[in-house]
Amino acid sequence: MTSTAKYKTSAPNKPKSCWDLFCSFTLMAMQAFGGSTAIAQQFLVDQKKWLTQSEFLDLLTVSQVLPGPNIMILTIVVGDRHFGWRGALASFLGMITLPATLMLSVFVFYQQYAENKWVSDALVGMAASASGMVAGAAMKLLYNCKENIITPPVWIFGLVITFITVGMLKISMVYILPIVGIPLSFWAWYRFIKERSARS
């Protein structure tokens, strides 16, 4: 089955089939220790080249504002864009089948050896590594935001407000998204209309 994508993209590559989606997302999931978002950008943009940096950022933004795990939403959207519901299903199964099987095995192991010092130290080391991966992905996304239509001063303001309210004050995203997201969306719409009028 060849790709039936009907959207325009400047990404150089496309998945060849639903099986390609399944195998690729299985491989991506098996690399996603400590944070799927960190590895997803490297895998989809740098390795597979199925998305450009801008497209990845747009899809990640959509997946962040929808309920549910953002990486699963991103996975489903990528599959759907190329092969419809079959691609979405193949991508979803690729992300959960093998990792879920391994996690059940790890859970059984952890229950037996949770008090072991070697196991505890290993988990601390993995947490530090995961934090570094997430921080690296965040810096890469910030670099690509410099060309965002919202303009740097505005999205930096939104970033700081979100970090303080959600990250430090522990306020739910349910309340912050309307307060921060809606004004930024209107600002982006205004900028888009203004730039389109200037070009015409």
Q: Structural domain boundaries of the chain? A: 10-140, 148-200
What does the pLDDT read at residue 128? Answer: 65
What does the pLDDT read at residue 67? Answer: 76
d(CA 107, CA 88): 28
Residues 181, 149, 187, 135: what is their CA dihedral angle, to the nearest 10 degrees? 30
What does the pLDDT read at residue 143? Answer: 66
What does the pLDDT read at residue 30? Answer: 84
Alpha helices in 4-69 (DSSP H): 18-31, 36-41, 53-65
What does the pLDDT read at residue 86? Answer: 94
Q: Name the DSSP class of 67.
A: S
Residues 193, 157, 68, 43: what is their CA dihedral angle, to the nearest 10 degrees? 80
What does the pLDDT read at residue 158? Answer: 83
d(CA 145, CA 81): 23
What does the pLDDT read at residue 118? Answer: 75
What does the pLDDT read at residue 187? Answer: 84
Average pLDDT, consecutive stretches of 10 residues, N- to C-terminus, the chain (200 residues): 56 89 91 71 88 85 78 91 92 90 78 70 67 66 67 81 87 83 83 77
Tokens coding 75: 């996975």
